[in-house]
Amino acid sequence: MISRRHGRLPATTGPLGWGLALLALTLALVALGVAVGSTGWSPPWLAHEDPMAWQIVWDIRAPRCAGAWLAGGLLGLSGAVAQGLFRNPLADPYLLGSSSGAALGVAVFLALLGVSPASTLWLVRLGLTGAAFVGAVGAVLLTLALSRGVQHTLRLLLAGVVVGVVLGAISALTMLLVPDIMRAMQAFMLGTTGFMGWTSVLILLLALAFTGLLAWGCSRALDALSLGDAAARSLGVSLGVVRALLVLALALSTGAAVAQAGLISFVGLVAPHLVRSRVQTTHGPLLLLSVLTGGALLLAADILARWVWAPQELPVGVLTAVLGGGYLLWRMRRMGALS
């Protein structure tokens, strides 16, 4: 256990206790989320008396809360996978260019078909997810190709920065050539959960189930990878297959979350850090706890974004960037990195 003098909080509970606490927090946030609207606090149990109020709760607030939690869970999962795969606590999945790739995929999709991310049609939501996934996985693969693998962390991060900048420039050029999509892409780039319906919730749930099981199946390999490539090989880990599966999980989880909620900053980076600051565990429980933490973080940020400036809404991506950046600066100061 590392003392507070070195800037790290001691682990005060086990994975099970921390998981139960996160579940209780999630339930409390869901109850609060369905009660907070543009006009302030309106308890959902009173909505039965008004059909219109009940429709607002069931068709708008409930899927928005569920979608925000699922998108945050996917980002928390992708952050834990990225940090374990690349053995770097700063390996936010966005650093590998996946967010820029997903944004480019969505921009091209919107430009070619002329649809809006606010659409609730099943095929449109599925198409947005598919376009974001193709863009995210393409960006990650391009980053890996430019860095010639994951052995050199600095080269990997530099390649991710280059890919992100280039794909971001292509996205901007696409918006310049097709200005009709600029307003939709602006909301997408700032991050929002306001467009989510039950179709989005189903897509996110399927993505989380698939990527969660895929990452969980590779959790022992992640434990071995933390010891180094040579040690992992000696333990019988097929590095090529494991890395391919983890990149697939990383790209799909990031792409699905970005397609439905836009670019949400810092959740994927902060969620695993919060878990590690409280619990010392292997990658199996870490992945699950990162999902729960990421979901709670984004749901709490979404509720705050709706409430703090009501009846106007703040972009949830801007709010997570401010709060997440502030948290990381606080952690760096505690660790002495800013002294």
Residue 162: which H helix or E strand, with range?
A: helix 153-177
Q: What pLDDT does 66 receive?
A: 95
- Among all chains, which residue has been given the structure tokens 């179709």? 199
Exposure letters 255-284 (e unless 16+ CB within 10 A, then b): bbbbbbbbbbbbbbbbbbbbbbbbbebebb
Alpha carbons 268 and 254: distance in angstroms, whole number = 9
Contacts of 217 (CB under 8 A, 6+ apart): 245
Q: Token digits for 130? A: 């598919």
Residues paired with residue 40 on neighbouring β-strands, in sequence order? 37
Grouped pLDDT means (10 residues each) for the chain, 339 residues: 41 78 94 77 62 76 93 95 84 81 86 64 65 82 80 74 91 88 79 83 93 94 86 84 85 84 88 88 93 95 84 84 82 64
At residue 308, the 3 state secondary structure works out as coil
Q: What pLDDT does 293 receive?
A: 96
Q: Token digits for 328? A: 């990381």
Instruction: Kindly give the residue spans of alpha helices, DSSP state H, lying in 182-266.
Output: 182-190, 198-217, 219-225, 229-234, 239-261
Alpha carbons 59 and 63: distance in angstroms, whole number = 7
Alpha carbons 28 and 24: distance in angstroms, whole number = 6
**Tally of residues, the chain:** 339
* Burial class for 318, CB neighbours closer than 10 Å (0-12, 13-18, 19+): middle
Which CATH number is associated with domain 50-334?
1.10.3470.10
Q: What pLDDT does 10 receive?
A: 47
Contacts of 110 (CB under 8 A, 6+ apart): 116, 117, 178, 181, 184, 185
Q: Token digits for 232? A: 């992992």
For residue 71, CA distances in Å to 78, 143, 265, 268 come to: 11, 24, 12, 10
Structure pTM? 0.85
Residues paired with residue 41 on neighbouring β-strands, in sequence order? 36
Q: What pLDDT does 5 receive?
A: 40
Can you give 102-122 as a three-state secondary structure string? HHHHHHHHHHHHCCCCCCCCH
Alpha carbons 239 and 324: distance in angstroms, whole number = 32
Exposure letters 188-209 (e unless 16+ CB within 10 A, then b): bbbbbbbbbbebbbbbbbebbe
Contacts of 98 (CB under 8 A, 6+ apart): 78, 136, 137, 139, 140, 250, 251, 254, 255, 258
Domains of the chain: which residue ranges? Answer: 50-334
Q: What pLDDT does 2 receive?
A: 37
Q: What pLDDT does 1 receive?
A: 36
